[in-house]
Amino acid sequence: MTRQVVILHGLGGIGKSSIALEYAFMYISSYSTVLWADATSETSLSRSARGMIEHIVAAYARGGILFEEIASFMGLRGLLDCNGNLSSEESHEPRMAGVVNNWLAAQHNERWLLIVDNYDDTEVDIFRIIPTCDSGHIITTSRRSSLQALGRTISVDEIDEQSGILLFLKNANKEQGHGQGKFYK
């Protein structure tokens, strides 16, 4: 799978995140995992990295892998205790973003989707979690139209009321975790 990067850009509140979410639900079976990162600020991105790690660790644990083994192969030694709890020390937050980046770049881990939502402030370092590998797919939502260097940009314009209602109704019937626990937001 060759990496594809799409940037949905347009005015705030126009439905970019809803489009990304709908895509994730429609194609969830094409991916081994779907991860969601809030790129509103450095703090929200760090919180997202922590949540992604918790999701990944839980998935491995459901597969019967011991937390000590998970900590070892994910590079979480000192961050993950024997009960599966992540360290709450703020000084570990930057390391967690690196763990996500390394996990996404891992060999034989090619069928993932990462949604980077609300990347409006380019001072937020989204590359802490985005790997440089050629695998996986990335959807980024932003109010900025100047992100062509990141990938293919698609302008999202205002949708009519009928289409908005249909999109809402389709999403209202979705539950997080749909698709065998592969989706994390």
For the chain, residues with pLDDT lower than 50 are: 174-185
91-129 CB burial, b ≥16 within 10 A, e <16: ebbeebbebbbebbbeeebbebbbbbbbbeeeebebebb
Phi, psi (5° rounding) for residue 22? -60, -45
- Cα 81 from Cα 74, distance rounded (Å): 13
CA 151, CA 114: separation in Å to the nearest integer? Answer: 14
Neighbours of 142 (CB within 10 A): 23
Compute the half-sphere exposure of residue 13: CA atoms within 13 Å on the CB side of its CA: 0
pLDDT score at 164: 64
Q: CATH number for the domain including 174?
A: 3.40.50
**% of residues, the chain, pLDDT over 90:** 58
Number of domains in the chain: 1
- What string of DSSP letters covers 85-141? PBP--GGGHHHHHHHHHHHHHSTT---EEEEEE----TTS-GGGTS-SSS-SEEEEE
Q: Residue 180: its pLDDT value, please?
A: 37
Helix ranges (DSSP H) in 16-87: 16-26, 42-62, 67-74
d(CA 137, CA 93): 24
Q: What is the pLDDT of residue 56?
A: 95
Count other Cβ atoms within 10 Å, centred on residue 11: 11
Tell me if the pTM is above 0.85.
no
The domain of 111 spans 4-184
Output the CA torsion 128→47→172→176 (10° steps). 90
pLDDT value of position 177: 39
Q: How far apart are CA 185 and CA 103, in angstroms?
A: 17
